[in-house]
């Protein structure tokens, strides 16, 4: 391929497993361009997975996390040759998706006018309007969230349609997968609760097989779960926790009927494969930000007034949001019994799409903030030039834009923020 800037893009994604999977809309957009070579910088522990889920992409492994590295000097020694290689390449665009020190250092290898996202200008860290808007809407987190797949996907102009990112969720006939836990303890259910839920889903969809999935760190949880399973389910359960590499994990997930999981990277990998997800979201997990991407996934989302919380802050309520997941009514519903009531403090949602991206529509329980979520999406979508079936909201525009957005040169934008702000004000009048 000719060595010209017009022929290469670089995506810098140095976060974790789930973040790599949630980069898919952006990656799909760039990979769809004719004659373009797409490069991806990831932590070395994810290089194999990146090659499997993004075939044809040139992967650049970096040491971004401490795993397997004894000192910072060793990490630097491993990274310097990769830095040199990246700097020697000519990229039309560099998409830097995170604000870590290493991310910004890698972005600093390139002309800042080519960097989208988080960049260095004259030694100072800078963000674009889109990234600044996201920081502002985190103040309105209960109703003003955008799925991370869409947030990153919209770093690029003319992003692929949301429905082109992942396959429609369909049963494959190979049973139920159960992901034991996520990285954040409060987001995960106790083994005995997960065991009961797995038995109910297995009965409800008449699955013949259960497979347990997770890392070596969850092998103890797998034993606890197996010990609490009904014998009829235990005899059909295969424990693969800590026994798969990336390729093996993909093999285990492929063609399952359902995957039961908290907010995990494996959840996003299942959605990538078109496997129906049954996601349990509690504590700081908020499906409107990090839910499974695609058509037809199910999310059980805690609906407590304190949600979503911060995982780093101690819970003053003894993690009461976990209680509804152990309710008899939820078990009845999952096992196929129509005689149930939606547990208090819980919503059942199904994923779908609008013009902006993935949405989660309540089918059991009530989303008290549904109208405000819709208005947020109409406001954001309208600024991006999408047909959202509604006008931008003036008060939201005040929250999302700041004076520097139209007073400073912020690069090419979908619409001048001041003109958009004035349009929202006219709509109010």
Would you state the pLDDT for residue 125?
86
Residue 364 has pLDDT above 70, yes or no: yes
Cα angle vertex 199, ends 196, 202, to 5°?
A: 150
Residue 20 has pLDDT above 90, yes or no: yes
Would you state the pLDDT for residue 4?
55
Would you state the pLDDT for residue 145?
82
Residue 421 has pLDDT above 70, yes or no: no
Would you state the pLDDT for residue 270?
99
Confidence of residue 36 (pLDDT cuts 50, 70, 90): very high
Would you state the pLDDT for residue 311?
84
Question: Among candidates 55, 26, 58, 52, which has minimal Cα distance to 39?
Answer: 58
Would you state the pLDDT for residue 155?
96
The rounded distance, in Å, linking the Cα atoms of 275 and 289 is 20
* DSSP-based three-state secondary structure for 381: helix
The rounded distance, in Å, linking the Cα atoms of 149 and 85 is 28
Task: Report the share of the chain in percent with pLDDT over 90.
Answer: 76
Question: Among candidates 345, 204, 374, 380, which has minimal Cα distance to 278?
Answer: 204
Would you state the pLDDT for residue 315?
92
- Chain Cα centroid distance, residue 388: 22
* DSSP-based three-state secondary structure for 176: strand
The rounded distance, in Å, linking the Cα atoms of 427 and 68 is 56
Residue 117 has pLDDT above 80, yes or no: yes
Would you state the pLDDT for residue 201?
97
Confidence of residue 1 (pLDDT cuts 50, 70, 90): very low
Confidence of residue 72 (pLDDT cuts 50, 70, 90): confident
Contacts of 105 (CB under 8 A, 6+ apart): none
Residue 344 has pLDDT above 80, yes or no: yes
Q: What is the mean pLDDT of the chain?
A: 92
Q: CB–CB of 177/213 below 8 Å? A: yes
What tokens were used for 163?
């429905």
DSSP assignments along 227-259, one per residue: HHS-HHHHTTEEE-TT---HHHHHHHHTT-SEE
| Per-residue pLDDT tens over the stretch 382-414 | 999 999 988 888 889 888 888 877 766 656 567
Contacts of 210 (CB under 8 A, 6+ apart): 175, 176, 177, 178, 198, 202, 233, 236, 237, 238
Between strands 124-126 and 119-121, the pairing is: antiparallel
Residue 3 has pLDDT above 60, yes or no: no
What tokens were used for 40?
């991806």
Would you state the pLDDT for residue 426?
75
Residue 328 has pLDDT above 80, yes or no: yes
Confidence of residue 54 (pLDDT cuts 50, 70, 90): very high
Confidence of residue 278 (pLDDT cuts 50, 70, 90): very high
Residue 75 has pLDDT above 60, yes or no: yes
List of domains in the chain: 5-127 (3.40.50.2000), 176-368 (3.40.50.2000), 377-428 (no CATH)
The rounded distance, in Å, linking the Cα atoms of 203 and 102 is 47
Report the pLDDT averaged over residues 209-238.
95
Would you state the pLDDT for residue 147?
98
Would you state the pLDDT for residue 404?
79
Report the pLDDT averaged over residues 336-359.
94
R_g of the chain, CA atoms, integer Å = 22
Judging by beta carbons within 10 Å of its beta carbon (0-12, 13-18, 19+), is residue 319 exposed, middle or buried?
A: middle
Report the pLDDT averaged over residues 145-166.
96
The rounded distance, in Å, linking the Cα atoms of 22 and 270 is 12
| Per-residue pLDDT tens over the stretch 57-67 | 999 999 998 76
Report the pLDDT averaged over residues 199-218.
96
Confidence of residue 429 (pLDDT cuts 50, 70, 90): low
Q: Could you give the maximum distance between any two Cα atoms of the chain, in Å?
A: 67
| Backbone region of residue 366 per phi and psi (left: phi > 0; alpha: psi in -120 to 50; beta: other values) | beta
Q: How far apart, in Å, are the Cα atoms of 77 and each of 174, 185, 260, 378?
A: 45, 34, 41, 48
Would you state the pLDDT for residue 282?
95
């Amino acid at each position: 391929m000719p060595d010209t800037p017009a022929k290469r893009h670089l995506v810098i994604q140095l976060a974790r497993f789930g973040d790599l999977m949630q980069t898919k809309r952006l990656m799909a957009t760039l990979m769809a361009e004719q004659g373009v070579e797409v490069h991806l910088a990831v932590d070395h522990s994810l290089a194999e997975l990146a090659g499997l889920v993004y075939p044809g992409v040139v992967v650049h492994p970096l040491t971004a996390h401490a795993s397997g590295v004894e000192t910072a000097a060793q990490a630097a020694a491993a990274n310097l040759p990769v830095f040199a290689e990246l700097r020697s390449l000519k990229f039309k665009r560099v998409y830097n998706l995170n604000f870590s020190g290493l991310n910004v250092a890698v972005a600093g290898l390139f002309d800042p006018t080519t960097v989208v996202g988080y960049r260095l200008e004259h030694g100072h860290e800078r963000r674009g309007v889109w990234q600044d808007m996201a920081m502002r809407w985190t103040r309105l987190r209960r109703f003003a969230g955008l799925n991370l797949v869409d947030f990153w996907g919209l770093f690029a102009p003319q992003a692929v349609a949301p429905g082109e990112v992942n396959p429609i969720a369909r049963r494959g006939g190979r049973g139920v997968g159960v992901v034991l836990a996520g990285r954040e303890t409060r987001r995960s259910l106790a083994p005995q609760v997960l065991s009961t839920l797995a038995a109910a889903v297995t009965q409800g969809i008449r699955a013949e097989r259960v497979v347990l999935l997770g890392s070596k760190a969850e092998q103890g949880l797998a034993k606890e779960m197996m010990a609490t399973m009904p014998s009829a389910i235990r005899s059909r359960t295969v424990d693969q926790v800590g026994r798969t590499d990336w390729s093996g994990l993909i093999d285990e997930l492929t063609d399952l009927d359902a995957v039961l999981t908290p907010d995990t990277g494996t959840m996003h990998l299942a959605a990538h494969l078109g496997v129906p997800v049954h996601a349990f979201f509690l504590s700081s997990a908020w499906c409107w930000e990090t839910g499974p991407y695609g058509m037809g996934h199910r999310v059980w989302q805690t609906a407590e007034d304190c949600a979503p919380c911060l995982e780093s802050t101690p819970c003053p309520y003894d993690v009461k949001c976990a209680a509804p997941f152990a309710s008899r009514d939820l078990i009845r519903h999952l096992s196929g019994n129509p005689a149930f009531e939606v547990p208090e403090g819980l919503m059942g949602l199904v994923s779908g799409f609008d013009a902006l991206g993935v949405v989660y529509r309540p089918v059991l329980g009530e989303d008290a903030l549904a109208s405000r979520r819709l208005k947020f999406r109409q406001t954001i979508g309208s600024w991006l030039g999408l047909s959202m079936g509604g006008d931008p909201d003036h008060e939201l525009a005040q929250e999302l834009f700041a004076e520097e957005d139209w007073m400073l040169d912020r690069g090419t934008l979908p619409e001048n923020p001041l003109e958009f702000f004035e349009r929202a004000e006219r709509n109010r009048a």
